[in-house]
Amino acid sequence: MRFWTLVIRNLARRPLRSSLTAAGIAVALASFIALVGLSRGLERAWTGALHERDTHIFAVRKQSAQLLSGTIDERVAERVARLPGVSRVSGELFDIIELDTGETVLVIGWQRSSYLWDTLRLISGRLPAGEDVKETVMGNQIAEALNKHVGDTVLFNEAPFTVVGICASAGVMTGRAIMVPLKSLQTIQEKQGRVTVLHIRVERPDDHIAAAAVLDGLTRAFPDLGFSLSDEVADQNFFVRTGRAMSWGTSAIALLMALLMILNTLLMSVIERRHEIGVLTAVGWRARRILAMVVCEGLTLAGAGNLLGTGLGIVAMRWLTLVPQIRGFVEPQVTVRMVVEIALVTLVLGTVGSAYPAWRAIREDPVESLRDE
Amino acid sequence: MPLQPHRPPSRSAGPLLQLDRVCRVYPKAGVSAIADVSLSVWSGEFVAIAGPSGSGKSTLLHVLCGLDRPTRGQVLFEGHAPSSREQWTRLRAERIGFVFQRFHLLPKLTAVENVEIPMFGVTRSPRMRRERALWLLERVGLAQHADRLPGALSGGECQRVAIARSLANAPSVILADEPTGNLDSGASAAVLDLLTDIQRREGASLIIASHDAGVTSRADRVVRLLDGRIVPPALTGEAPPVTGALEP
């Protein structure tokens, strides 16, 4: 008989209780995977979209709690472009709207002369013909979801837009977005002359010192705007930060409950096995071996929960991305970092959850324990 | 797979176990379980601890193997006083075997697995643990029941498994607390035969706490306890011990 055989045998003596505890841990870990995965998916979608557009610096209205409510005068773009070190600037108006199909999509408006149109990879059709036309280029993912092709019409804010092109993108922000000329979007949104953000390219993006100097110059020249490097934009985005805080907060509560479940199960198990632990002490089992046995029981429970929870978490994450209000804004995926984090969380759950029961087990008086049959 | 070569009782190397004016008081209950007990047990010796229920026999055995700590006095193993719980645990693992009246087998483990339990931390190889446990079960006549759970064994068979378990690490001394107390007369005789046979063949010391006349009649020496104190041989009409510097 191996040491682990004894550990498994101890857990198997109350199969229902052990299974329910493992299931509880699995649900907690699945919540962690799904919620943190979604939060990271949101970050990934934002940074991915900026990289796709080769944006180096991103500007928003300062002190605006919500990105969408803050607007910038579109003429600011010209002033920004004149600053030393800045290569190109483009304003962008965007909004999240619900189509008549019930689909929630991102609508993006760029000046027809903006270089950002050139970042789209057209797979069919063409770009809009002018500045104030009701024409749109759809991302391939949303076009596929809505079964729209070049020549079809899509209705938003009761305005019909003709699909003139379909562009391909692996990222959800572009793949599930609708791009329209800025003026036509400003008209239907009644935001004439306004943009939501500025995309800024610098002359020497690989020179971090030069990029930082441009950022510093922008910050001083436009104190009412908030500038951030594209790699850091996710950290400063309201949606991303709120999503991150909510997902970690909810996960922490779920994990705490899992910890209490392990503690409760093992404590009951140790109390029930008081006599047996006394026998082990009597036949010469050292305290650290008994401690290891109880901790290994905790780790086994947490490990079983991990296996079940990881599968459940991936399914939950995929399911959540099918919710119309969420899909198109997140790119969930299980990364190596997440696998390592889950392994560490499992290790901490198993060890911390079993620490007190293990301590209780080894401090028992063996003579008293032997009487307790 | 013999445990040890046969050794007759030896007094040349000093006592194996010694109690020096040991007292054990349970303050909460206000009970003095044993009082001022001095006793020497020699290697290979069979000592019976006799006395009525409540006389302190079990406490004496528990103190002898470090399961219980004396309130006063000291316990010496081969002339040294183990100072910590850890040292006593090591001794119980490697040098002291214990047989309980109520067997105390782990109910969810088979007979052979119960015998393997004390070998964890002493014998590293699981295969060697299994082989030795099977050999010990064969030694106590239970090879055919190796894979049975204790619940499927009779009282006498359980006690034989417990004896095999006590021999797992070839101890120098076996302590048995009323080993026949829960058995019928036939099983009692068989268990007693087994214990004395092992004591003779393996040369281990054997200390049995019992009020069974069958036990006391076979022992090399009988120590009688009454109200936690050793009754001097002169008062019991028995022959005094051969030696024992610390004995009364």
Neighbours of A248 (CB within 10 A): 14
CA-based end-to-end distance of chain B: 40
Report yes or no on B248 lying in a domain. Answer: no
Extract the tokens encoding B124.
């590293």
Dihedrals phi, psi of B126, to nearest 5 degrees: -60, -35
Instruction: Tell me if B1 is assigned to some domain.
Output: no
Domain ranges (residues) in chain A: 3-45+240-371, 63-223
Angle between helices B185-202 and B155-166 (to 10 degrees): 20
- Cα dihedral sign for B20, B26, B31, B33? negative
Q: Strand, helix or coil at A38?
A: helix
Which one-letter amino acid corresponds to residue A38? L
Helix (H, G, I), strand (E, B) or coil at B64: helix
Q: Is residue A13 less than 8 Å (CB to CB) from chain B?
A: yes
- B128-167 residues touching A, CB cutoff 8 A: 129-130, 165
Q: Please report residues of A whose CB lies closer than 8 A to that of B91.
A: 284
CB-CB contact of B22 with B11 (8 Å): no
Pairwise CA distance, residues A185 & A137, whole Å: 13
Residues of chain B neighbouring A286 (CB-CB closer than 8 A)? 86, 89-90, 93, 121
Q: What pLDDT band is residue B237 in, cutting at 50, 70 and 90?
A: low
Q: Answer yes or no: do A279 and B94 touch at CB < 8 A.
A: no
Shortest Cα distance from B214 to chain A (angstroms)?
Answer: 26
Task: Say what the pLDDT of residue A210 is.
Answer: 86
Q: Does B122 touch chain A (CB under 8 A)?
A: yes
Distance from CA of B174 to the nearest CA of A (A): 12
In B52-111, the residues whose Cβ lies within 8 Å of chain A are 62, 67-68, 85-86, 89-94, 96, 98, 100, 102, 104-106, 108-109
pLDDT band of residue B66 (cuts 50, 70, 90) is very high
Residue-level pLDDT at A66:
53
Interface contact B93-A289, CB threshold 8 A: no
In a domain, B43, yes or no: yes
CATH of the domain at B124: 3.40.50.300
pLDDT, residue B130, reads 95
B116 pLDDT more than 90:
yes
Contact B129 A9 (CB under 8 A): no
**C-alpha A53, offset from chain centre:** 21
Task: Out of B85, B98, B129, name the one closest to residue A283 (CB).
Answer: B98
Q: Which residues contact B21 (CB under 8 A, 6 or more apart)?
A: B36, B37, B38, B72, B73
Give me Rg for the CA atoms of chain B: 17
B10 falls in which pLDDT band (50, 70, 90)? low
Ramachandran class of B44: left when φ > 0, alpha when ψ lies in -120 to 50, beta otherwise: left
Indicate the residue of A1, A9, A284 with minimum beta-carbon distance to B92: A284
Q: What is the per-residue DSSP string for A132-150?
A: S--EEEEEHHHHHHHT--T
- pLDDT by residue (tens digit) across B92-105? 999 999 998 888 99
Task: Decide if A1 and B98 are in contact by the 8 Å CB cutoff.
Answer: no
Cα–Cα distance between A6 and A3 in angstroms, integer?
5
Residue B77 belongs to some domain of the structure: yes
- Is B166 inside a domain boundary? yes
Given A9, A276, A367, which is nearest B62 (Cβ)? A367
Residue A224 near residue A62, CB atoms below 8 Å: yes
CB within 8 Å of A135: residues ≥ 6 apart: A128, A129, A161, A162, A163, A164, A180, A181, A184
Distance CA(A210)–CA(B154), nearest Å, equals: 87
Asked whether A123 and A168 are in contact (CB, 8 A), the reply is yes
Long-range pairs, B188-192, Cβ under 8 A, ≥24:
B188/B156, B188/B212, B188/B214, B189/B214, B190/B156, B190/B160, B191/B156, B191/B159, B191/B160, B191/B163, B192/B218
Subunit contact B117:A366, Cβ cutoff 8 A: no
Over residues B10-17, the mean pLDDT reads 73
Which two three-digit tokens encode residue A263? Answer: 């503690």
If we measure between CA atoms, which residue out of B179, B143, B141 comes closest to residue B159?
B179
Q: Which of A264, A273, A217, A49 is nearest to B104 (CA)?
A: A273
- Residue from the list B68, B86, B117 with its beta carbon closest to the beta carbon of A283: B117
By Cβ distance, the residue of B62, B89, B168 closest to A286 is B89
In one-letter notation, the amino acid at residue A94 is F
Partner-chain contact B86 A281, CB within 8 Å: no
Minimum CA–CA partner of B113 in chain A: A1
What length does chain A have? 373
Q: Specify the 3-state DSSP secondary structure of A82.
A: coil
State how many domains chain B has. 1
Burial class (CB in 10 A: 0-12, 13-18, 19+), A240: buried
Q: A-chain residues within 8 Å CB-CB of B165?
A: 283
Entry field: residues in chain B: 248
- Pairwise CB contact (< 8 Å): B120 & A3: yes
Please indicate whether, in this complex, the C-beta atoms of A282 and B113 are within 8 angstroms of each other: no
The residue behind tokens 């796709």 is: A52
Say what the ipTM of the complex is.
Answer: 0.87
Contacting residues of A for B93, CB less than 8 Å apart? 283-286
- Bridge partners for B37 per DSSP: B22
- Out of A6, A282, A373, name the one closest to residue B92 (CB): A282
Residues 6+ apart with CB under 8 A from A118: none
The model's pTM: 0.74
- How far apart CA B61 and CA B71 sit, in angstroms, is 15
Segments forming the whole domain that contains residue B90: 17-236
- Are the Cβ atoms of B100 and A370 closer than 8 angstroms? yes
Buried b (16+ CB within 10 A) or exposed e, B181-199: bbbeeebbebbbebbbebb
8 Å CB contact between B133 and B164: yes
Per-residue pLDDT of chain A (373 residues; tens, 9 = 90+): 899 998 998 888 889 988 998 898 888 888 888 888 888 877 777 777 777 888 888 888 876 555 555 688 989 999 999 999 999 999 999 888 877 777 778 899 999 999 999 999 999 999 999 888 899 999 998 898 889 999 999 887 788 899 999 999 867 778 888 999 999 999 888 889 999 999 999 988 888 888 888 989 999 999 988 888 877 776 666 667 777 788 788 888 888 888 888 888 888 888 888 888 889 999 999 999 999 999 999 999 989 998 998 889 888 888 877 776 666 666 667 778 888 888 888 888 888 888 888 888 888 888 888 877 6
Is position B11 within any domain? no
| Residue-level pLDDT at B182 | 77
Flag whether residue A282 sits within 8 Å of chain B, measured between CB atoms.
Answer: yes
Cα of B157 vs its chain's centroid, Å: 18
Task: State whether A284 and B104 contact (CB < 8 Å).
Answer: no
Q: Which residue does chain B place closest to A277, by CA atoms? A: B106
Q: How far does CA A71 lie from the centroid of its chain?
A: 26
> Which A residues in the span 221-240 are in contact with B, Cβ-Cβ below 8 Å?
none
Rounded to a whole number, what is the distance in Å from the CA of A15 to chain B's nearest CA?
Answer: 13
- Report the alpha-carbon distance of residue A215 to residue B193 in Å, rounded: 93
Q: Could you tell me the two tokens for A170?
A: 């692996």
Chain B CA closest to residue A287:
B86
Amino acid B4: pLDDT: 44
Contacts of B108 in chain A (CB under 8 A): 9-10, 13
